[in-house]
Amino acid sequence: MLNSSLQQLGAALRAKNISSVELTQLYLDRIAQHNPGLNAYITLNPEMSLAQAREADARIAAGKAGALTGIPFAQKDIFCAKGWLTTCGSKMLHNFVSPYDAHVISQFNDAGAVNLGKTNMDEFAMGSSNETSYYGTVKNPWDTARVPGGSSGGTAAAVAARLCAAATGTDTGGSIRQPAALCGISGLKPTYGVVSRYGMIAFASSLDQAGPMARSAEDLALMMNVMAGFDERDSTSLQRDKEDYAREINKSVSGGKPLTGLRIGLPKEFFAEGLDGDVAKAVESAIAEYRKLGASVVDISLPNSRLSVPVYYVLAPAEASSNLSRFDGVRYGYRAPEYSDLADMYEKSRAQGFGAEVKRRIMIGTYVLSHGYYDAYYLQAQKIRRLIAQDFTEAYKQCDVIMGPTSPSTAFKLGEKGDDPVQMYLSDIYTIAVNLAGLPGMSIPCGFGANNMPVGLQIIGNYFDEARMLNVAHQYQLATDWHSRAPQGL
């Protein structure tokens, strides 16, 4: 059961080969066994999970089951879930029990899915290694001396270690794709606005996007069918007709090669200095496999992508400094135990409640938005952001999808980059431009590099092209078995 796809689990539940209660208990037992060593989950509530499972079994017995009814999922602890502790990996929200559901959570509830628990994450989604969480570092299941990536590192570790059937993540600058690559799973960041951000605790509102993380592209498609949809409570949510993200996957292929006619763009900037040789080798082998599947390769250029990291670290902290101003110790969350007046309470609550990385980004963001620096930094960054988006627009005149490495290296050791924020920020050098442009991007396993650690292949599509991207990934996964590999000893 642990290695079954979502489709297989759904079929087994509907055929009464296993009940949702039994399946949920199987995962809860496994979490109890392995989570102490991985720290993938922050919050568990077996009573609530099993209650949902019983409801799902009743729904299945009544013949009202959907594709995901009764299947246990984990939820990143950035999504508000009614009755669940929702911390965002921060001391600031260590005691916050949400009174309402995020749109993503309500979509899973409506589908009859089971919430196994809330997964660990970098504090307020700020990090690339899951080492900034107030609840401790998450360990990579392939090597517990290494990072799982971030900020959705808890989700990635839980999926890779089979501590859930699949799970949700969020991606502001690569936080679904990078941990997916480092943990050897599949992850998708949808087009900005396709999945509602309502109830998703904000980091950088113009960049944040929720998405699915699972073992295969097929599983991602089934999750997208549940997660996507218009929500009037989110002003950035796009009002579009409902679509079946598995439609390309389910399309029959008769004769010939399944990806004949597909044009893959390879940006020269993604294969330049800074890319580790073992990662480059695995990605090049994946491209060779795509050629066998009928695709052709086109050399392209994204000349402004080299500016994506500095642009991101102006814009994202600027938005964070505004979004995080609401955490002041007055209405909810952490409040300093001792203070002299209101101003002192604000200062001490924020100083004690936020971690070092969050403070660093708030200070950067406040600086670039301050009088005298707004024009020099923030406005200039917005102009370059537009140029980065235009690069992609030009590139898609020559190709259908863009491919390259997800991360410049495999998972690095815990603590290796903690003293050098710039080196940590460069972990997202291939992913950030996608968020700045609002495009969909995904990562799928494509081999192993140094120390037998997973390597991720990034696939970037044009706006609203998720269905094609998922099929492009699916065809590769039919021809290879990288996505089915699991860490030893778990």
Catalytic residue annotation: 76, 151, 175
Interior angle at CA 384, CA 381 and CA 307, nearest 5 = 90
Q: CB-based burial of residue 351 (10 Å sphere; 0-12 exposed, 13-18 middle, 19+ buried)?
A: exposed
The tokens of 248 are what? 């390309």
The secondary structure of residue 409, as a DSSP letter, is S
Q: How many angstroms separate the first and last alpha carbons of the chain?
A: 14
Report the side by side order of strands in the sheet with 166-171.
41-44, 114-119, 72-76, 166-171, 209-214, 186-189, 441-448, 454-461, 401-405, 263-267, 296-300
Q: Which residue is it, tokens 């004949």?
A: 260
Strands 72-76 vs 166-171: parallel, antiparallel or unpaired: parallel
The widest CA-to-CA distance across the chain, in whole angstroms, is 77
Measured N-to-C along each axis, helices 466-479 and 277-292 cross at an angle, to the nearest 10 degrees, of 90
Measured in whole angstroms, the distance separating CA 474 from the mean position of its chain's CA atoms is 19
CA-nearest of 143, 216, 223, 126 to 451 is 143
Token duo for residue 67 = 């594709």
Residue with tokens 């980091």: 203
Beta partners for 445?
Answer: 456
CA angle, 320 then 169 then 239, to 5° = 80
Q: Is the separation of the CB atoms in 246 and 222 below 8 Å?
A: yes
Instruction: Sort 47 into a burial class: Cβ within 10 Å, 0-12 / 13-18 / 19+.
Output: exposed
The token pair that represents 99 in the structure block = 């009174």
Calpha distance 23→43 (Å, rounded):
19
- Residues near 295 by Cβ (< 8 Å), separated by ≥ 6? 259, 260, 262, 263, 264
Length of the chain: 490
Distance CA 383, CA 375 (A): 11
